[in-house]
Chains A and B, each alone.
Chain A
Amino acid sequence: EDKVVQSPLSLVVHEGDTVTLNCSYEVTNFRSLLWYKQEKKAPTFLFMLTSSGIEKKSGRLSSILDKKELFSILNITATQTGDSAVYLCAVATGGSEKLVFGKGTKLTVNP
């Protein structure tokens, strides 16, 4: 059975801190790993990673994939209160558009 595990499940930090969110997976026929940010409504897409060792960046957010060790990290530097959200990790497997989601990491950034 395909499995995606995120850690920690929740995290409370102060504005300006740097955080690292983790996502590990055990799936058959890995195709890609995706990160989504979910505030109070629908998940919104952040990154898609398919190749090991290539960092994706968008402003203060960055993510990297390690296909040998089967995990990805999402880094957020100089956190702001607007970064408070649930961050979801999902994996796509070959031959299907289905995504397998982890349970999410709830990040709270306090002023």
Chain B
Amino acid sequence: DAKTTQPPSMDCAEGRAANLPCNHSTISGNEYVYWYRQIHSQGPQYIIHGLKNNETNEMASLIITEDRKSSTLILPHATLRDTAVYYCIATRGGNSNYQLIWGAGTKLIIKP
């Protein structure tokens, strides 16, 4: 699985959009980009994933560059409850039994 690089921490004002970057320059053609978050002392929560196209769901938007070497997770209107560690993971799709390799993630702090 491709290695991902994320900034260790970020701040964002409540109500503003939080943009979390992720570099995955060695991603291969069959690897998807997944985003999870972990609120303190809880299990990881799935946010969104994509292969090539930009994706949007009720939680967030995922913007993937055309060369797929980087992506950005966008939380459109951050709330205090979005404070968590966000993990960007590149892993093979097409197989339900994939392992997820977890990096250090980005600690996002939403400030009132």
Q: Do A and B come from one complex?
A: no
Point out residues on B near A: beta carbons under 8 Å.
none
